[in-house]
Amino acid sequence: MLTLKKVIFNRPFLLFLWFGLSLFAVVKGVHFHDGVFSTDHNNYIIYKHNFLNLIQQHSLFGPQPEFYFDLNHYGPVFGLVIAPFASLPDGLGVILWVLFLAWSLYFAIMKLPLTDFQKTVIILLNINSMMGSSGNVQVNPLIIAFVLFSFIFIRKQQDFWAALMIVLGTAIKLYGVVGLAFFFFSDNKLKLILSLVFWSAVLFVLPMAFSSPEFILKTYHDWYPDLVAKNASNKIGSRAYVCVMGMISRIFNIKDFPTLVVLIPGMLIFAWSMLRIKYWRNLQYQLLLVASTLIFSIIFSSSSEPPTYIIVFIGISIWYVNLDRPITGYERFLLIFALVLTNFSPSDLFPRYLRVNYVLPYYLNVLPCLMIWLKIVYEMLTREFKEHPKQTDWNLATLPGLKTKNL
C-alpha cells in the first residue's frame, strides 16, 4: 500500500521536487520569440558577460547598462566556469546553468558521510530554498558544493582535490574560503598547504590563456576596491547586510553600527568551538563544524542577502540530522522557527503583511539562524561525542509512520 512516507522519501519523487521546482522557477524568466531563446534573469546576463568581458579584455567590474543593470563582483576564474553556458542562447544557457547548480549541490549532499535517510531529510528541508535560489539564478548552490567537497575530500585523505575545492570556491566567491575551517581534520597538513599553493598558482594563471597576463593582473588589482565599495554599499542597501550586525542595527535603529563589535566576538566564539582536539577525528563533531561554518559565514557577513541563506539552511539541516535522538522540544522549536522565519518568509507561503512590516525591515530571518549557531557552538563545546554513534533512528525501515517524535 502506497503511504505518504513512501511517497515523500521515494528517490524519483525527491529528484522531481529538487530539479523540477528549480526548473519551474527559472523557466518563468525564459522566452522564445522568433526562433530565439532569451531570458529576463539579470544575474545570468551578468554571469555571461563575466566570460565575454574576460575574452574581450573589457573591465569585469564596470557598469554595462546596455546589457544589464547592477554590477559584476565575480573574479576572472568565474568566467571560465560559466563559459560553457555563456556560449549558448541565453534562454537555454540559463536553464542548463540552474540545473547544473542544482545538480552540484545535490551531488555534494549525496556524498556526505551520512545515511541515505539523513541525506533525504536534508534535501527535503532545502527544496524551498533551492527553488528560491534557482528563481534568482544565484551561484550560491555551487559555493556550498565546493565547501562540502572540501570537507569530503579531506575526510577521504584526498587533500590535493580538497585544496582545489577551497581555492576554486574562493576564486569565484569569497565565501569559499571557509573550507579552510576543515584544515585541522587533514592527516597530511603539509600536502594540503602545498596543494593550496599549487591550485592558487594554476587558477591565477589559467584565465591568462583566455585574455592576457596584463589584463588579469589589472583585474585582480581592480577587484579589491570593487569589493570594498560593494561592502560599503551593502550597509545602506535594502537587500544586503542581512546579518547579525544588520539585524541589531535595524532593531535598535543604530546608524553606522560598528561591525567589529559583533564580528570579533563571533570569530572568537567560532574559533573556541574548534579547540576540542580529541574530537577532531569524530564524525559527529566534524559535521557540527561543517554546519557551524556554513551558518557563520553568512550570518556574520556584511555581504549577505536573502538568497545567500540557502547556505545557512544547508548548515541548519546538517545540524538537525546530526542531533542525538530523540531531539528535545527546544531543538524541535529551533528547526520550526528557522523553517518559518528563514526558509519560508521570502516566499508567498508566508503572510505578506508580516514579511513586509517585520521580517524584511528588521532582518528577523537572521534570528533563528543565530540561535541555532549558538546552540551548535554549545554542543561542540560540551557534548560527549560517541566514537561510533548508532544510526538506527535514521533508517527509514525502522520508522513506521515516520516516528515523528524522533524526527
Confidence band (pLDDT; 50, 70, 90) for 173?
Answer: confident
Q: How far apart are the first and last CA of the chain?
A: 23
Confidence band (pLDDT; 50, 70, 90) for 306?
Answer: confident
Is 3 a residue whose pLDDT tops 90?
no
Q: What per-residue confidence (pLDDT) applies to 395?
A: 45
Distance (Å) of CA 6 to CA 12, 14, 120, 306: 11, 11, 12, 33
Q: Is the dihedral of CA 139, 78, 76, 297 positive or negative?
A: positive
Domain residue limits, the chain: 235-401
Q: Length of the chain, please?
A: 407
Q: What is the amino acid identity at position 300? A: F
Determine the average pLDDT of the residues in 195-199: 98
Is 241 a residue whose pLDDT tops 60?
yes
Question: How many CA atoms are closer than 13 Å to the CA of 80, on its beta-carbon side?
Answer: 18
69 vs 288, residue with greater confidence: 288
Q: What per-residue confidence (pLDDT) applies to 348?
A: 78
Rounded to whole angstroms, the Cα distance separating 340 from 336 reads 6
18 near 94, Cβ under 8 Å?
no
Q: pLDDT above 90 covers what percent of the chain?
A: 75
Q: What is the amino acid identity at position 70? A: D
3-state secondary structure string, 311-327? HHHHHHHHHHHCCCCCC
320 vs 304, residue with greater confidence: 320
323 near 335, Cβ under 8 Å?
no
Confidence band (pLDDT; 50, 70, 90) for 161?
Answer: very high
Pairs from 198-207 (Cβ < 8 Å, separation ≥ 24) = 198/163, 199/163, 199/164, 199/166, 199/167, 199/168, 200/167, 203/77, 203/167, 203/168, 203/171, 206/77, 206/80, 207/54, 207/76, 207/77, 207/79, 207/80
Rounded to whole angstroms, the Cα distance separating 325 from 348 reads 33
How many other CB atoms are found less than 10 A from the CB of residue 382?
8
What single-letter DSSP state applies at residue 345? T
Confidence band (pLDDT; 50, 70, 90) for 400?
Answer: very low
Among residues 22, 74, 27, the alpha carbon closest in space to that of 50 is found at 74
- For 63-95, the pLDDT digits (tens) are 999 998 888 999 999 999 999 999 999 999 999
Q: What per-residue confidence (pLDDT) applies to 406?
A: 42
Q: What is the DSSP string of 33-52?
A: ETTEEEE--HHHHHHHHHHH
